[in-house]
Structure 1
Amino acid sequence: MPTITPAQAGGANRCAFLDAIANSEIGPALLAETQNGYNVLVGSTPAHPLTFSSYATHPDILNQALNSTAAGRYQLLYRYWGSYSKMLNLPDFGPLSQDKIALQQIRECNALLFIDAGNFAHAVALCSRIWASLPGNDYGQHQNAIALLQSYYTAAGGTLA
């Protein structure tokens, strides 16, 4: 589960949606082997976890094989860290800050109302431009099936319309 509480996030469905994204981006095995994904670098696998040790700021570590600086539970690219950090007045890149950034990204996709209403599939479609592992984008990376994502969401306490 995310660090942010349902009261802070605006409801249990929002926390469950964050959990679905993390499971999609990082996978249950890697979430279990790390600090719930909050310290994961792009390119990690359960057999070869790549992590960072300080939450002081986004680690800005380039995975040259993937040409990506994605890091954290929601695989935020470094180029977005500065603007979100300032916008949300974040003290660090810690778990709560990562949750707040992900919620802001979901807000920018206009998906919060659909999450709150339990319209999971539509919320996923709206957010697929942010997270490559969600179905419906053209990033050319592995996309998880909506049924799998929905199972993560409901297992985390999310309700469906």
Structure 2
Amino acid sequence: MSTARCEIAPQTNANRAAFLDALAWAEGTDNGRQATTDRGYDVLVGGGLFTSYATHPNILVPIPRYKISSTAAGRYQLLYRWYAPYAKSLGLIDFSPLAQDKIALQQIREQGALPLIDAGDFELAIAKVRNIWASLPGAGYGQNEQQMANLLAAYSRAGGAIK
């Protein structure tokens, strides 16, 4: 596994890359406190790591604090049930960093948030995608939600511009 940020796609501008970095920070996969060796692309929910990008690891991890179990994995904590449909629709062959970024960008696109991110309308973009990531402000899943100011700071540190 590499520690360099992968090349997501030519159409991925600085705001999109910063938004993905902010999501990883919010999800706790790439926030400096995680034991990741690959910027969060190798993180299981709960903090464990996986070692192969051949496919989504599909490991059911109990999370007693929230009285749930989850298959969330990777930098953006994608559930296993969503991996196969996204892999098929996007023509992906693995769960590599590039594949994870493409899936996250597709999820963002589906919520209509890409133009907002491109325009630097960070808070509205977060509001559009908060139903996907439980860590975002206002997500409402009963899990730890980040404060908007801290999330915005992570986005700015990653080079994102605000309108």
TM-score, with length taken from structure 1: 0.91
Q: List gaps (5 residues or longer) in structure 1.
A: 45-49
Match of 2:61 among 60, 63, 75: 63
What is the aligned partner in structure 1 of residue 139 from structure 2? 137
Report whether the alignment pairs 1:109 with 2:111. Answer: yes
What is the aligned partner in structure 1 of residue 38 from structure 2? 35
Match for 1:118: what amino acid? G
Q: Give the SS at the match of 1:22.
A: helix
Is this contact kept in 2: 1:9–1:103, CA < 8 A? no
Cα RMSD (Å): 1.5
Match for 1:43: what amino acid? G
- Per-residue CA deviation, residues 108-144 of structure 1 (Å, 9 max, x unaligned), is 1110010000000000011100000001121000000
What is the aligned partner in structure 2 of residue 146 from structure 1? 148
Aligned-pair CA distance for 1:9: 4.0
Is this contact kept in 1: 2:36–2:49, CA < 8 A? no
Report whether the alignment pairs 1:4 with 2:7. Answer: yes
Is this contact kept in 2: 1:69–1:77, CA < 8 A? yes
Is this contact kept in 2: 1:70–1:76, CA < 8 A? yes
Is this contact kept in 2: 1:84–1:101, CA < 8 A? yes
Report whether the alignment pairs 1:93 with 2:95. Answer: yes
Is this contact kept in 1: 2:15–2:118, CA < 8 A? yes
Tell me the distance in 1 between the aligned counterparts of 2:44 and 2:86: 19
Match for 1:55: what amino acid? Y
Q: List gaps (5 residues or longer) in structure 2.
A: none
Aligned-pair CA distance for 1:33: 3.8
Tell me the distance in 2 between the aligned counterparts of 1:36 and 1:16: 13
Is this contact kept in 2: 1:4–1:15, CA < 8 A? no
Aligned-pair CA distance for 1:3: 1.8
TM-score, with length taken from structure 2: 0.90
Tell me the distance in 1 between the aligned counterparts of 2:136 and 2:32: 18
